Amino acid sequence: MAKVIVITGASSGIGEATAKLLASKENKVVLGARREERLQKIFKDIEQSGGQATYLATDVSELEQVKALAQKAIDTYGRLDVWMNNAGLMPHSEFIKGRVEDWNRMIDINLRGVLYGINAALPQMRKQQSGQFINIASVAAHAVHSGGGVYSATKAGVWMISEALRQEEVAAKSHVRVTVVSPGAVSTELVDHVTDPDTKKTMENFYASVSMPSERVAQAISLAVALPEDSDINEIVMRPSNQQ
């Protein structure tokens, strides 16, 4: 069945690949991110391939903008079936570097942004008595390495929030499903935004030899979205096959 699917962080990487794949399967996708010109280009690509999409410039760290994105889906397509909390960033650095601004951005986007997404979409899903959250965590939700303390904390937080939400929705018999997706290294723009030069170089070297295309993650998400409502893939953990 065609679904109405909102994707945050849809302007590049995993969000873009998932939007294009799900649109090619007759779903209606609603794209949110800050870079409007990128969203417009992806929207045009989808339309030219015969798919249906719309977009709205959205900063997920602003609750009113996230609510407006949910409303855009409802106004355009009359419902909201899937909300993919994907927007995120990973500016790793060791604590001694004191990059407080990066810590705050990760908390605002990776964590607060996910909570705002839930806040914006859950009431509509409850009303419909059906829906699904796809929350993008990371293998970093399950393990931490030097330089990745704040990122892992936000992604472990996404895991915890998702599991509590899943339990609440099962208890409420709302038919709202929750799927966490925890990828390993994916070749996207994520490393471009690392601000600490030493860490950035190390990460670029790592990603050059160990990473999978974002289309692989999109394929896994497509599987979780297409699963009949009587079943829920609670978590997908996936890595490039050469990642430890």
Find the binder of ligand NDP among 6, 30, 42, 60 (CB under 6 A): 60
Nearer to ligand NDP, 7 or 127 (CB): 7
Find how far residue 18's CA is from the centre of its chain: 10
Residue 18 in the binding site for ligand NDP (CB under 6 A): no
Residues of span 167-186 touching ligand NDP by CB under 6 A: 183, 185-186
Q: How far is the CB of 182 from ligand NDP (least distance, A)?
A: 7
83, 18 contact by CB (below 8 A):
no
Q: How far is the CB of 35 from ligand NDP (least distance, A)?
A: 3
Please list, in sequence order, all residues whose beta carbon lies within 8 angstroms of the beta carbon of residue 43, skipping any fewer than 6 positions away: 31, 53, 54, 55
Which amino acid, one-letter code, is at 69?
L
Q: Kindly list the distances between the CA atom of residue 131 and the CA atoms of 9, 20, 94, 186, 216, in Å, as whole numbers in the listed order.
A: 20, 20, 39, 27, 23
Say how many C-beta atoms besides its own lie within 10 A of residue 45's C-beta: 15
Residue 91 in the binding site for ligand NDP (CB under 6 A): no
Which region among 119-127, 188-196, 197-205, 220-228 touches ligand NDP (by CB under 6 A)? Answer: 188-196
| Listed residue (100, 107, 174, 181) closest to 140, CA to CA | 181
Q: How far is the CB of 114 from ligand NDP (least distance, A)?
A: 9
Which region among 12-20, 116-124, 125-133, 236-244 touches ligand NDP (by CB under 6 A)? Answer: 12-20
Residue 86 in the binding site for ligand NDP (CB under 6 A): yes
Catalytic residue among 77, 116, 151, 207: 151
| Listed residue (1, 41, 12, 25) closest to 221, CA to CA | 25
Q: How far is the CB of 49 from ligand NDP (least distance, A)?
A: 20
Q: Distance between CA 72 and CA 82 in Å, rounded?
A: 14
Residues of span 112-171 touching ligand NDP by CB under 6 A: 136, 138
Active site residue 151: yes
Which region among 80-88, 125-133, 163-171, 196-204 touches ligand NDP (by CB under 6 A)? Answer: 80-88
Q: How far is the CB of 203 from ligand NDP (least distance, A)?
A: 9
Which residues are marked as active site? 151
Kindly list the residues in this chain that would bind ligand NDP in the complex (CB under 6 A).
Answer: 8-15, 33-35, 38, 58-61, 86-90, 109, 136, 138, 183, 185-186, 188-190, 214
